[in-house]
Amino acid sequence: MPRWGRRVTDSTPIAADADRAQLNRRNLRTFRQVLINTAVANLTTSFLWFGLTFWAYIETQSVLATGIVGGTYMLFVAFFGILFGSIVDRHRKHLVLVLSSSVTLGSFLVAGVIYLAAPEGDLSDLGKPWFWFFAGIILFGSVIENMRNIVLSTSVTLLVPEERHANANGLVGTVQGVAFIVTSVFSGLAIGFIGMGGTLLIAIVFTGLAFAHLAFIRIPEEERRDADGERPPTFDVAGSIRAVRAVPALFALIIFSMFNNLIGGVYMALMDPYGLELFPVQIWGTVLGVASTGFIVGGLLVAKFGLGRNPIRTMLILVIVMGVLGSLFTIRELWWIYAIGIFLYLVTIPAVEAAEQTVIQRVVPYEKQGRVFGFAQAFESAAAPVTSFLIAPIAQFGVIPLLDSDEGQRTWGWLLGEGDARGIALVFFFAGIAMVLIALAAFMSKPYRMLSQEYLRDSDQEPPASTARLQPAEG
């Protein structure tokens, strides 16, 4: 049985090819609809997430608060990752999209009630429970929306021809980049001009629109079952581990991404506080948005040129580049160095993420990809909260006061220059160096060679047929 679920006989090759081409076109239209709907949902939750981060720092003037908020978000993503993957493998994709949208919309509505009910001044007081309830319910709704990203990654396998997977993953990165740009700009403007209440209202409206749009999407997929005919459990930890272990060295790829995210937690905790030291919130959101066009550039480059014959090698080279950029973009307290550094840093991210997705989509059977993506998400996301929770108090109470002192300036001034945010710059510098060393170690490792060989061997063979029997997509 060929990949697209149509039987081809020698007597009807032309008709079969025409049927396959028509089915591919319909499936690609469906993929674009899923992509657009997910883009709107990602844009909305990112808009509210950025707004919450900006608002929290402005109201509290504490990197500890932003570190805890960011770390909690990633901790939630890690906790729910395997569950999300099992749900995606167990149920039809459209049902999962509806579930994700409805829970996210409900969470944002509850956050709106908390915003209206909280006594004046208590909502921004870290010593009162209102702030943590409010931030927690927004983070929960945003995390549930992440289930869509697993659906989108497996939809590439379901709806896009094998030879176009890397390009489709690059397009996914482009869409995510657009969301990042729009939200970073408009979140700063929204918090600056209409406050947290207006920002939350906008998020509720657009989440509702994305939910309504799902009524017009039809994804061609039968009820989900494994190759043995059994439906995967709702929380399939054992199945996730078996699916990862079935591919030599795939676990090593996930571990490497986990270490990469360990460094990423530093940027998550400190990038916004550094930017807000250089700019007012409205200007910082705009600068971040303009610099974030790097997401679009990087995604379009992958969509156009792919990732090369060995995406794993491409990924490690780009991680080294990321580490160098991360060390240097705060080397002096000049806004244009920071902005250019962010732009170049973000150019690399779509390719790094697309590389991991492309490898998993090729070497893991389609029926188990949701659990593998969920397992990877859980492991990789678990790393960032560790760094975020650790680095925020270290920076707040240790490094920043040290670099503000005369002794700290004498010790590190030759490297970092002068300014009010040299403590954060020092953390960025050593985090980037650590990222470079981790990538170099991965390059020299046996798992890198094994996984590269596995990927290249599969690329020279006909991809196995999916057991998901596709029907022509509607709409």
Residue 226 near residue 71 (C-beta atoms within 8 A): no
* Cα distance between residue 243 and residue 257, in whole Å: 18
CA–CA–CA angle 376, 381, 387 (5° rounding): 140
pLDDT in tens, 137-150: 998 898 898 888 88
464 within a domain of the structure (yes/no): no
pLDDT band at 106 (very low <50, low <70, confident <90, very high): very high
Residue 421 falls inside a structural domain: yes
The pLDDT value given to residue 224: 54
Task: Please write the tens of the pLDDT for every residue from 20-45.
Answer: 677 777 878 888 889 889 888 988 88
d(CA 173, CA 293): 12
Mean of pLDDT values over 314-337 = 90
Q: Residue 244 is encoded by which pair of tokens?
A: 């990862």
pLDDT of residue 470: 42
Reported as a pLDDT band with limits 50, 70 and 90, residue 228 is low
Confidence band, pLDDT 50/70/90 cuts, at residue 443: confident
Distance (Å, whole) CA 269 – CA 271? 6
Q: Is residue 228 part of a domain?
A: no
Residue 103: pLDDT band with limits 50, 70, 90: very high
pLDDT tens track for 382-433: 666 666 667 777 887 888 888 888 888 888 888 888 888 888 889 899 989 9
Q: Smallest Cα–Cα separation from 123: which of 205, 200, 207?
A: 200
Helix (H, G, I), strand (E, B) or coil at 234: coil
Cα→Cα distances 27→83, 161, 213, 475, Å: 27, 10, 18, 10
What confidence tier does 233 reach under pLDDT thresholds 50, 70, 90? low
Dihedral pair phi/psi, residue 222, rounded to 5°: -85, 175
- pLDDT over 70 percentage in the chain: 80
> pLDDT: is 55 or 120 the higher one?
55
Predicted pLDDT of residue 17: 60
Q: What is the structure's pLDDT at 210?
A: 92
pLDDT tens profile 112-125? 999 888 877 777 77
**Could you tell me if 282 and 192 are in contact, meaning their C-beta atoms sit under 8 angstroms apart?**
yes
pLDDT at 234: 57
Mean pLDDT of 75-81: 76
> pTM value?
0.66
The pLDDT, as a whole number, for residue 471 is 43
Q: Is the pLDDT of residue 334 over 50?
A: yes
Instruction: Give dist(CA 273, CA 161) in Å, integer.
Output: 43
**Structure confidence at residue 344 (pLDDT):** 92
List strand residue ranges (DSSP E) for 124-220, in order.
none
Question: What does the pLDDT average to over 307-317?
Answer: 87
Q: Is the pLDDT of residue 232 over 80?
A: no
Is 90 exceeded by the pLDDT of residue 170? no
- Structural domain includes residue 224: no
Q: In this predicted model, which residue has the larger pLDDT, 85 or 321?
A: 321
Q: 48 in a domain, yes or no?
A: yes
Structure tokens at 196: 């947290």
Mean pLDDT value of segment 304-319: 86
Residue 270's contacts (CB-CB under 8 Å, 6 or more residues apart) are 63, 67, 391, 392, 395, 424, 427, 428
| DSSP three-state, residue 70 | helix
- Over range 214-232, report the average pLDDT: 67
Residues 181-218: pLDDT tens digits? Answer: 667 677 878 888 888 889 999 999 999 999 999 988 88
Give pLDDT tens digits for 2-16: 433 344 444 455 555
CA distance 26 to 33: 11
Please state the domain count of the chain.
Answer: 1
Q: Which residue has the higher pLDDT, 365 or 437?
A: 437
E strands in 285-407 = none
pLDDT confidence of residue 469: 38
2 in any annotated domain: no
Q: Is position 11 within any domain?
A: no
At residue 371, the 3 state secondary structure works out as: helix
| Total number of residues shown for the chain | 475
For the chain, what percent of residues have pLDDT higher than 90? 12
pLDDT score at 15:
53
Domain range for 61: 21-216+234-459
CA distances from 429 to 319, 332, 339, 415, 423 (A): 15, 11, 16, 10, 10
Q: Where would I find the H helices in 217-310?
A: 237-245, 250-278, 281-291, 293-305
pLDDT of residue 98: 93
- Which of the 8 DSSP states describes residue 123? T
End-to-end CA distance of the chain: 26
How far, in Å, CA of 100 to CA of 97, rounded? Answer: 5
Which residues, including other chains, have CB under 8 Å from residue 41's CB and lie 6 or more apart? 100, 101, 104, 145, 148, 207, 210
* Structural contact between residues 151 and 97, judged by C-beta atoms closer than 8 angstroms: yes
Q: How wide is the angle at C-alpha 71 spanned by C-alphas 203 and 312, nearest 5°?
A: 95
Q: Which amino acid is at 170?
A: G
The CATH number that applies at residue 145 is: 1.20.1250.20
Specify the pLDDT at position 104.
94
Residue 172 falls inside a structural domain = yes
| The predicted structure's pLDDT at residue 50 | 82
